[in-house]
Structure 1
Amino acid sequence: MRGSQRQQPDGSFPLLSNGNERYPVTIRGLETPTSQAPGNQPLLDIHAKLSLDGTVIAAAEDVLESMGEGARAFWGHATPGSAALDIAEQTSPTLAGPPCPTHLGWLNHWAAAAAKAIGFLAPSHDADLLSRSRRTATGGWVVRLANEPLDLDNPTHLDALLRAYERFPKIGGRVTPR
């Protein structure tokens, strides 16, 4: 891995890269201070950039789970950049904060607290999602919305995303906590 191990003045950690131009992997992180974070709890945003070929797609669930579990994350997602940006731009500016996810993605990592916060794991409502989900070692979940990375121009993918938002209205700040 390339990159410095020193934290940056803005709270981020520097870009790390595997240096492989055929299969580039980059990871970066940025701290969100308490004053700017939903729920007034400091957060560390970790972003990984991977090429979306068959090898990476096949390993994506394991990578997301490893990053989420290793960072003890409340939640996370893996979504191609263009779809992730479109989804994030539709998120409410006032969010409840951890552990509730701010948005959904192609693959979703929810810690046990996040799954509970959004009401996941109601077998009568979640049978379809459960068929594409797996439990993590710490009691969280990795949930796949579509078989391949989200493409918002694909009606099947858009429908899966819309159904998931309908099922979990707390995600994205569409329901105000009581």
Structure 2
Amino acid sequence: MTKQSSLILIVYAPALVSNDGRTLAAAHGIERALPGVRLEWELSRAGRPIALPQRDGWLAEASARGKFPLLCNGDENYPVTVTGWGRPAGLSAGGQSQFEVHAELPLDAASIAAAADVLEGVAEGARAFWGRVLPNGVAPEMAKQIRHSMDQPHVPPRGLPALNLPQHIPSPAIPHHLGWLNYWSAAAAQAIRFPDPVRDADLLSRARRTATGGWVVRLTETPLDLDNSAHLEALLRAYKRFPEIGGRVTPG
């Protein structure tokens, strides 16, 4: 499928347990948020869409094997995809096996408007601990925040804080990093001490509560752009406000 500027969504959830319905719920979350999008195709080895007439059953069978194979909407001019895989305990926060779901949407006005609903739908469907949405052009630079050795100094770009690898984060509820849009489950919000009605007044003006008691928090009105000084300042403020994110401070 044709590559273009996109929004990248990732959520981190408990490990799959047989066919627990979460993969299908995540796909349905995207479809509800994006009217007209149906994730009823897989991709061939050559990257061409192949229709799945019995998508739900096909996905349930894969989920029973612990798999979430890539689904797409079959539109090479407007590609929407979702997939997922397990993350072993040794590489996961809190030393617990996890399941991560990745979705990608075109970076256009329609997806930007629906992105919060997509994040909420996928995260709540997967029963995620936390998740985020970032533009694909920003994600690689923010990945440079990761400290790959606990014994060596690490200075990320743009004054951003160094973040620990997930296996050095004490709880699966603690987000690894921030995004433009952030999903924090009730457990994640508690772990990072959100919300504080005074300190978080600005964030709360761009946040909403979910049905399960979690939060969807928009860091900036438009997709995060690190060349925009106001966006960079908002990101730095949020990291300062939530030192638990990235395992920089252990919740007390």
Compared with structure 1, are the counterparts of its residues 142 and 41 closer, same or farther at alpha carbon in structure 2 (3 Å cutoff)?
A: same
Which residue is 2:221 aligned to? Answer: 147
Mapped contact 2:208–2:215 kept (Cα < 8 A): yes
Name the SS of the counterpart of 1:56 in structure 2: helix
Give the Å deviation of 1:36: 2.1
Q: Provide, for residues 128-172 of structure 1, a one-character-per-residue CA deviation record: whole Å limited to 9, x for no partner.
A: 000000000111100000111111111111111110000000001
Q: 2:119 maps to which residue?
A: 64
In the alignment, structure 1 residue 29 sits paired with structure 2 residue 88? no
Instruction: Give how far 1:12 is off.
Output: 4.8
- Which residue does the alignment assign to 2:41? 2
Aligned residues: 177
Q: 1:156 to 1:12 in 2, by over 3 A?
A: farther
Larger radius of gyration: 2
Is residue 200 of structure 2 the alignment partner of residue 126 of structure 1?
yes
Give TM-score, length-normalised by structure 1. Answer: 0.92
Aligned to 2:172: 98
Pick the aligned partner of 2:109 from 54, 57, 62.
54
Q: Give me the whole-angstrom Cα distance separating, in 1, the residues matched to 2:192 and 2:234.
A: 17
- Does the C-alpha gap of structure 1 residues 96 and 87 become closer, same or farther in structure 2, counting only changes over 3 Å? farther
The answer to which of 41-50 and 83-92 deviates more is: 83-92
What amino acid maps onto 2:110 in structure 1?
T
Match of 2:53 in 1: none
Q: Is the 8 A contact 1:79 1:149 kept in 2?
A: yes
Are residue 136 (structure 1) and residue 210 (structure 2) matched?
Answer: yes
Secondary structure of residue in 2 paired with 1:79: strand
Q: Secondary structure at the match of 2:137?
A: helix
**Gaps spanning 5+ residues in structure 2: where?**
1-39, 43-57, 146-162
Deviation at residue 21 of structure 1 after TM alignment? 2.1
d(CA) in 2 for partners of 1:177, 1:66: 28
Alignment-derived partner of residue 77 in structure 1: 132
Asked if the contact 1:88/1:103 (under 8 Å) is kept, the reply is no
Aligned partners of 1:26, 1:177: CA distance in 2, in Å? 35
- Does 2:153 match 1:114? no
Matches of 1:104 and 1:171 in 2, distance apart?
A: 8
Distance 1:88 1:111, change over 3 A: same
SS of equivalent residue, structure 1 residue 125: coil
Per-residue CA deviations over 1:73-116 (Å, capped at 9, x if unaligned) read 01000111231232233131221231010100000000111001
RMSD value over aligned CA atoms?
Answer: 1.8
| Structure-1 separation of matches of 2:141 and 2:245 | 15
Instruction: Give the unaligned 5+ runs of structure 1.
Output: none
- 2:249 and 2:207 mapped to 1: Cα distance? 24
TM-score, scaled relative to structure 2: 0.66
